[in-house]
Amino acid sequence: MSKTTLVKDKEIKRTWHEIDASGKSLGRLSSEIAKLLVGKHKVTYAPHQDLGDFVVVTNAKKIKLTSRIKNLDVKKYYRFSGYSGGLRVKTLGEMASTDIEGVIRHAVRGMIDANRLRAPRLNRLKIVEGDSHNYPTGSES
């Protein structure tokens, strides 16, 4: 019978991964990012522990937005303030032109389990529209 090994907080090694988004489709990119944020690529993975790494996404403007939704006006993002008449709707085309970071972050958020660990995992996601950034890559923190 195998035992579950627990990694102590001091033993957690978080590395930085840099992913180039140019030419990649939104769904495949976000599933790859979610896997790294959750820590499923590590041998010590445990679903109840936050063992994931930092992820820096570069060239976010060059992402490929193709799917079964050929028209960018079909997919809609909804925000509701809680007040009557407070529903705000934006299409994928509008979001991609103004806030591509929000599109990627929303897709990754949907691929991470909805529990207490979701917010700290998403805080380790850094999205940059161009090539250059000031985040470390390949080093441990």
Question: Could you tell me if 107 and 95 are in contact, meaning their C-beta atoms sit under 8 angstroms apart?
Answer: no
**pLDDT, tens digit (0-9, with 9 covering 90-100), for 101-113:** 999 999 999 999 9
**pLDDT, tens digit (0-9, with 9 covering 90-100), for 9-56:** 899 999 999 999 999 999 999 999 999 999 999 988 988 999 999 999
Per-domain residue ranges of the chain: 15-65+99-127
| Top-level class of domain 15-65+99-127 | alpha beta
What is the per-residue pLDDT for 61? 92
**Dist. CA 117–CA 109, nearest whole Å:** 11
**Dist. CA 39–CA 61, nearest whole Å:** 26
Has residue 74 got a pLDDT over 90? Answer: no
Has residue 137 got a pLDDT over 60? Answer: yes
Exposed / middle / buried, residue 39 (Cβ in 10 Å: 0-12, 13-18, 19+): buried
Q: Is the pTM of this model over 0.95?
A: no
